[in-house]
Structure 1
Amino acid sequence: MSETERAEEVRLAVYGGFARIGRAPGAAELAARTGFDNREVRQALELLHQTRDLVIDTATGDIVMAHPFSSVPLGFSIMGSRTLWWGGCAWDSFAIPHLLRDEPDVLVATRCPACDAPHAWVARRDTPPPGDQVAHFLVPVAHMWDDIVHTCGNQRLFCSTGCVDAWLKRTGRRRGHVMDLPTLWRLARGWYDGRLERGHIRRDPSSAAAHFTAAGLRGAFWGLPEH
């Protein structure tokens, strides 16, 4: 078996673990599930990190993220019918019911970063959640992978644009992109299609741009024309 084939087996085991139990399998669990030794598992994880199919802590080798799942809390919890997940960001949290076909809806919970107000929505596959809240994405798409944990930690949901402005003023950060809940839902819908299946290939730039455009996004933040 080639290194690439071993990496695909490990990727499937990681995603399967997240989907079933809400957390990343450890190296020993992955070795038991795949039949590979610990060294082969570590090599596979490193390759998957390089190809951006997973995010690992390069110091420890631990799995940090397998989008849309996260091993670390970044502001969101997602409750399904039997499983609790950490959501990596607003985008990923709303994507989970689209990815998991046996979860037609999930409860997404968070707090406004500006005023700490609690918010919760039932996120479904068939329709956007109601609400006047807005999402603010801090990091433009061209730089999202410069530090993906920072990027995901700053894709948050706020009570309103007023709360976004207050948070930006308090933190000294520059405005990124603000979108309403229907746009966020369209962005999340279908973005991770096939990620639980064998042979999944991440979107290339043209496919990503087409998806952003279909979601109603425009402008340089998304690497797209303004109109």
Structure 2
Amino acid sequence: MKYFVEHAKAPSIDELSVLFELNKDCIIKALKLLQAEHGVVLHPISNEIWVMHPFSAAPTNFWIKSGDMGWWGNCAWCALGAAALLDRDLTITTTLGSESKQVVIEITNGKIANKHLYVHFPIPMKKAWDNVIYTCSTMLMFESESDIDAWCERHNMHKGDVQPIEQVWAFSKAWYGRHLSPDWVKWTVQEATEIFERFGLTHSIWKLPVEKGRF
């Protein structure tokens, strides 16, 4: 994660092999174990890092820019989470509903200038990891709930939970804020449930089954 923040890209298997002084087979095995814990998403053929939430190694609809550096976020939630993790003044450029109207979200001194936006969460969290790339692709920003209603009708998409951007910003800071800490580990399902509840995310979309493991 530190490498992703500092270099604005995912470390390759070759680079990880050098950094950890291990052969590539050991690195791939370790990455697959990390993937099993939802710590990374690997490219299915090359085993290179595809996603390390909140960052993406592949182009997305969320471009995060600070100074001369830039990162891709996987979704609205991830983009705000990346902003929290980066902890600097930046902009997030995206298109509303992943369609044609572009917006630039400004975050300065930890505060969002664009307070009129909303984030739509259409995929139930209990199914989020069935295809997390698809799940992230659907977490988008909009200017109003009526726009979300029209978008769902237009694209035959189930309407889920709708949250104002400031609420998602506060939630994202708690969710992603410690990802660079050496002692941080992936949230358990129970911990995830508690964080959802703490931020008033009570819509059925956020309900998780009672089980062991990590979210």
**Same fold? TM cut 0.5:** yes
Q: Name the SS for the 2:60 alignment partner.
A: coil
1:34 and 2:20 are equivalent in the alignment? yes
Judging changes above 3 Å, is the alpha-carbon distance between structure 1 residues 46 and 114 closer, same or farther for their aligned structure 2 residues? closer
Judging changes above 3 Å, is the alpha-carbon distance between structure 1 residues 47 and 66 closer, same or farther for their aligned structure 2 residues? same
Aligned to 1:188: 172
Q: Name the SS for the 1:191 alignment partner.
A: helix
1:216 and 2:196 are equivalent in the alignment? no
1:157 and 2:146 are equivalent in the alignment? no
1:162 deviates by 2.5
1:58 deviates by 2.3
CA distance in 2, matches of 1:75, 1:97: 15
With structure 1 as the length reference, what TM-score do the two structures score? 0.85
Alignment partner of 2:183 out of 199, 212, 215: 199
Conservation of the 8 A alpha-carbon contact between 1:133 and 1:160: yes
Q: Name the SS for the 2:177 alignment partner.
A: coil
Cα RMSD over matched residues? 1.8
Conservation of the 8 A alpha-carbon contact between 1:72 and 1:86: yes
Q: Give 1:50-69 correspondences, 5 Å limit.
A: 50-69=36-55
The one-letter code of the counterpart of 1:207 is E
Percent of residue pairs bearing the same amino acid type: 25
Aligned to 2:32: 46
1:98 deviates by 1.9
Alignment partner of 1:170 out of 144, 147, 154: 154
The one-letter code of the counterpart of 1:32 is V
With structure 2 as the length reference, what TM-score do the two structures score? 0.89
1:199 deviates by 3.5
Aligned to 1:25: 11
